């Protein structure tokens, strides 16, 4: 049995999606976020860094952190025998690392900078907004269009992140939450990056993704990206 | 022939170390940083994100970015047949992903926040220092001792990141620059985290590491960590 230590509204949601696709039985231990959106201290009981996701594979006596290490481990052990072309394997390798090493750190920093400025006491807000926006304009915002363009180009030409694949591989599990976050941030819309938007819809429509949503509890990124869709494109 | 697009004082230095360990011939194209320490726009000619490292493997017609994707690719193709224990393979997987997904984003953010505050015009400096330090105290500083403790504990018990290994594996190539950055930031000293400090010395003494230094040109992280050592421990 696999136990997933699952922080609400976090990158651990995709581990549930993967486990549903693999058909591996698992148990979810859900942790709610604190009022400042940080992970609760109870997560330290699962892992010394207090981060999510963490899985326990009881059959092996294994405890493992880091989203993409977990994805690689689960797919290798319980997974997919799909053979990829050399080109597809290289895409899979690239986007699996890119998701956690480059895209998500950028998006997490962006979200934290905005949240932190908004949570300052009222008399400090103008000061904090000014300084943190200047930082964001220097290190975050100029990169975003390049990232979106690279991903959009790839998804315009390919159904999945691994070229020639007929279903999700590691890179797709790795990438999904970053793409959902781009929709929530209103950077990706059906007008700006239609291929990314369509890709997200395709993933969210999969029975395994839907089953993972049921199992994991409320997931703001899915809720908000679906809601955006229902409301129609943003102005 | 492998071409490494190598940004000065960056995570691409470890790719040169890896290539030296593998004994694979390569060519270095070095890019100097701009006055604000950002990568120069010429890197966009090598890769759409303008980031380093990027390698070209001319024999395969391949262009690949993302440090750890490159490490995995090179080791798989040119590399090491060392067989790891199941436990060692899991460490290797964990620390390879941890390095780029968790440790380096934290350290890069820390360095940028400090640099950005210092580079503001003098009349804005107090304001920027105040706001950016508050952000750093919220999202960066509390994590650092946990990270160092986890790594110190691991290196107290093991010679390399992969348990039972008798030389570097992917995780070691992935981790080294983060550890050097912790020394430059004076967080790791021989007093605070002796096992990490000794591990760095061991890596830096390897002939392949030294050969990579010769080939890559000045590398501040090595220069400053060696200098720290020669000056003796910091107060």
Closest approach of B23 to chain A, Cα-based (Å)? 22
**What are φ and ψ of residue A73, in 5° steps?**
-60, -50
Lowest mean pLDDT among A86-95, A163-172, B218-227: B218-227
- Crossing angle of the two packed helices B125-139 and A104-119, in degrees rounded to 10: 110
B130 touches chain A (CB under 8 A): yes
Q: For residue range B206-232, what is the model confidence (pLDDT) as tens digits?
A: 999 999 999 999 898 888 876 555 444
pLDDT band at A182 (very low <50, low <70, confident <90, very high): very high
The first and second tokens of residue B63, run together, are 């262009």
B13 touches chain A (CB under 8 A): no
User: Is the distance from CB of B41 to CB of B47 less than 8 angstroms?
Assistant: no
All domains in chain B, ordered by first residue? 86-206 (1.20.1050.10)
What's chain B's length in residues?
A: 235
Per-residue confidence (pLDDT) for residue B83, from 0 to 100: 79
Return the number of other C-beta atoms located less than 10 Å from residue A94's C-beta.
Answer: 22
A-chain residues near B127 (CB < 8 A): 127, 130-131
Closest approach of B20 to chain A, Cα-based (Å)? 23
pLDDT band at A234 (very low <50, low <70, confident <90, very high): very low
The whole-chain average pLDDT of chain A stands at: 92
- Is the ipTM here above 0.95? no
Mean pLDDT value of segment A67-85: 89
Q: Does the pLDDT value for residue A150 go beyond 80? A: yes
Q: Which among A94, A105, A116 has CB closest to B135?
A: A116
Q: Does the pLDDT value for residue A73 go beyond 50? A: yes
User: Is the distance from CB of B46 to CB of B54 less than 8 angstroms?
Assistant: yes
Distance (Å, whole) CA A89 – CA B73: 10
Q: Does the pLDDT value for residue A167 go beyond 80? A: yes
Per-residue confidence (pLDDT) for residue B95, from 0 to 100: 98
User: Is the distance from CB of A182 to CB of A196 less than 8 angstroms?
Assistant: yes
């Amino acid at each position: 049995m696999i136990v997933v230590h699952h922080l609400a509204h976090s990158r651990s949601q995709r581990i549930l999606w993967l486990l549903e696709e693999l058909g591996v039985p698992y148990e979810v231990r859900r942790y709610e976020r604190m009022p400042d959106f940080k992970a609760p201290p109870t997560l330290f009981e699962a892992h010394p860094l207090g981060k999510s996701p963490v899985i326990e594979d009881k059959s092996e006596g294994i405890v493992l952190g880091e989203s993409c290490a977990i994805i690689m481990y689960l797919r290798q052990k319980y997974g997919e025998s799909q053979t990829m072309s050399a080109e597809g394997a290289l895409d899979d390798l690239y986007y699996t690392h890119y998701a956690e090493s480059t895209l998500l750190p950028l998006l997490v920093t962006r979200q934290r900078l905005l949240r932190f400025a908004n949570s300052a006491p009222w008399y400090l807000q103008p000061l904090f907004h000014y300084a943190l926006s200047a930082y964001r304009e220097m290190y975050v915002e100029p990169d975003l269009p390049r990232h979106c363009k690279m991903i959009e180009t790839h998804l315009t030409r390919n159904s999945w992140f691994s070229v020639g694949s007929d279903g999700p591989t590691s890179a797709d599990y790795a990438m999904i939450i970053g793409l959902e976050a781009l929709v929530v941030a209103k950077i990706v819309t059906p007008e700006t990056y239609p291929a990314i938007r369509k890709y997200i819809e395709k993933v969210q429509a999969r029975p395994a993704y839907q089953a993972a949503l049921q199992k994991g509890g409320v997931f703001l990124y899915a809720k908000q990206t679906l809601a955006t869709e229902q409301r129609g494109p943003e102005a």
